[in-house]
């Protein structure tokens, strides 16, 4: 057994303490949010809830999850996240492969054109007019998917990984008679799978947390996403005013403070991501490492 020096032991202790502080900084706010969401109404309104809940009350969860609007918003979010992520990964990968080919005509022009869009956009109002007036995509799922279908940043990331694949591997496939699609899907993609998994994770998180396009392109509540539903609860002034008014008229009534709704909504929205992430963490880490070291 190799003995550790005193300096290594001190570094290990300091490192562990530092990591524990980071874990505490992450977990304490989550624990506080959960405690507020399940605490009794009187404790929440008087700001007595700390890291541990006071009492136990699941009424906020029941009313949030039990509404038809929540169920519809959850369905919309899952649909947009899944379909949008799959389409984005396909388009981004194919575009990155095309730009990585040496013989692609106009490669430099297309690359510069895409990079320019990272710094200059068409503007919010022209985009809104295009989506609603010309494409007639208001109150449709395509309004949430198409405008953010391609991310130039992820195109560059995937392109750099494709270029890192040994050319001999690609040339051997071409010699065997493989076409471009077969080279891409049978040779390139299996090699860069960790990178694609990491990109998919980031894209899925972005679509899962999406709410601003709903504000722009959805005039019907049936097209709300889960994040916009959460936003409507957090910023709904009428709910707060109605709660305060009801509390003033009848203190003994079963009142649910808006804080309970807000914190319960945060837990409900974050829970699916927390449950799924451990299963794809290995691909995420591999993708990050592959993106940091080329070749």
Per-residue pLDDT tens digits for 243-291: 555 555 544 445 677 777 778 888 888 888 888 877 777 666 665 555 4
Shared domain check, 125 and 27:
no
Domains: count for the chain: 2
> Which is higher by pLDDT, 205 or 50?
205
How would you label 51-90 residue by residue, b for 16+ Cβ within 10 Å and e otherwise?
eebbeebeebbeebeeeeebebbbebbeebbeebbeebbe
Shared domain check, 15 and 100:
no
Q: What pLDDT was estimated at residue 250?
A: 46
Q: What pLDDT was estimated at residue 293?
A: 45
Task: Return the CATH number at 227.
Answer: 1.10.3720.10
Mean per-residue pLDDT, 38-63: 80
- Domain boundary pick from 34, 57, 80: 57
Distance CA 195, CA 286 (A): 7
Shared domain check, 125 and 254:
yes
Per-residue pLDDT tens digits for 11-37: 888 999 999 999 888 888 888 888 888
Q: What pLDDT was estimated at residue 89?
A: 94
Shared domain check, 90 and 5:
no
- Domain boundary pick from 21, 38, 57: 57
Shared domain check, 76 and 35:
no
What would the two tokens of residue 187 be? 């040779």
pLDDT above 70 covers a percentage of the chain that reads: 87
Half-sphere exposure of 191 (CA within 13 A, CB side): 19
Shared domain check, 107 and 242:
yes
Shared domain check, 246 and 172:
yes
Per-residue pLDDT tens digits for 96-146: 999 988 888 888 888 888 889 888 888 889 999 999 999 999 999 999 999
Shared domain check, 102 and 17:
no
Distance CA 89, CA 202 (A): 11
Shared domain check, 63 and 32:
no
Q: What pLDDT was estimated at residue 145?
A: 93
Find the domain containing 31 and state its range.
1-57
Mean per-residue pLDDT, 177-182: 82
Mean per-residue pLDDT, 47-75: 83
Average per-residue pLDDT in the chain? 82
Shared domain check, 123 and 51:
no
Helices (H), the chain: 6-38, 41-45, 59-65, 68-100, 107-119, 124-129, 142-145, 152-164, 167-175, 180-182, 189-191, 193-208, 212-217, 226-234, 237-249, 258-292
Shared domain check, 144 and 114:
yes
- Domain boundary pick from 57, 76, 105: 57
User: Of 150-154, 166-170, 205-209, 218-222, where does mean pLDDT reach its minimum?
Assistant: 166-170
Q: What pLDDT was estimated at residue 236?
A: 66
pTM metric for this prediction: 0.78
Q: What pLDDT was estimated at residue 225?
A: 92
Per-residue pLDDT tens digits for 146-166: 998 999 999 999 998 888 888
**Burial of 149 from C-beta contacts in 10 A (0-12 / 13-18 / 19+):** middle
Shared domain check, 112 and 247:
yes
Per-residue pLDDT tens digits for 1-15: 567 777 788 888 899
Q: What pLDDT was estimated at residue 2?
A: 64
Mean per-residue pLDDT, 163-179: 80
């Amino acid at each position: 057994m190799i003995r550790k020096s005193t300096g290594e032991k001190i570094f290990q202790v300091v490192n562990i303490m530092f990591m524990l502080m980071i874990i505490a900084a992450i977990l304490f706010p989550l624990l506080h949010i959960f405690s507020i969401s399940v605490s009794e109404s009187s404790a929440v309104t008087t700001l007595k809830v700390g890291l541990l809940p006071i009492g136990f009350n699941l009424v906020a969860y029941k009313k949030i999850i039990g509404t038809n609007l929540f169920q519809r918003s959850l369905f919309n979010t899952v649909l947009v996240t899944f379909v949008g992520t799959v389409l984005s990964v396909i388009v981004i990968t194919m575009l990155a492969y095309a730009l990585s080919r040496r013989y692609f005509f106009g490669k430099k022009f297309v690359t510069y054109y895409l990079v320019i869009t990272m710094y200059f956009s068409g503007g919010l109002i022209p985009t809104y007019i295009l989506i609603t007036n010309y494409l007639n995509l208001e109150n449709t799922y395509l309004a949430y998917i198409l405008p953010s279908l391609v991310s130039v940043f992820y195109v560059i990331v995937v392109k750099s990984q494709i270029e890192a694949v040994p050319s001999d591997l690609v040339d051997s496939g071409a010699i065997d008679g493989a076409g471009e699609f077969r080279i891409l899907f049978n040779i390139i993609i299996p090699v860069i799978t960790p990178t694609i998994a990491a990109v998919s994770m980031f894209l899925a998180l972005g679509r899962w947390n999406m709410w601003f396009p709903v504000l722009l392109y959805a005039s019907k509540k049936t097209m709300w996403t889960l994040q916009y539903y959460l936003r409507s609860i957090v910023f709904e002034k009428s709910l707060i005013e109605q709660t305060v008014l009801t509390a003033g008229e009848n203190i003994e009534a079963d009142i649910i403070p808006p804080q309970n709704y807000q914190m319960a909504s945060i837990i409900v929205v974050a829970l699916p991501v927390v449950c799924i992430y451990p299963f794809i963490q290995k691909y995420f880490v591999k993708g990050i490492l592959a993106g940091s070291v080329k070749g």
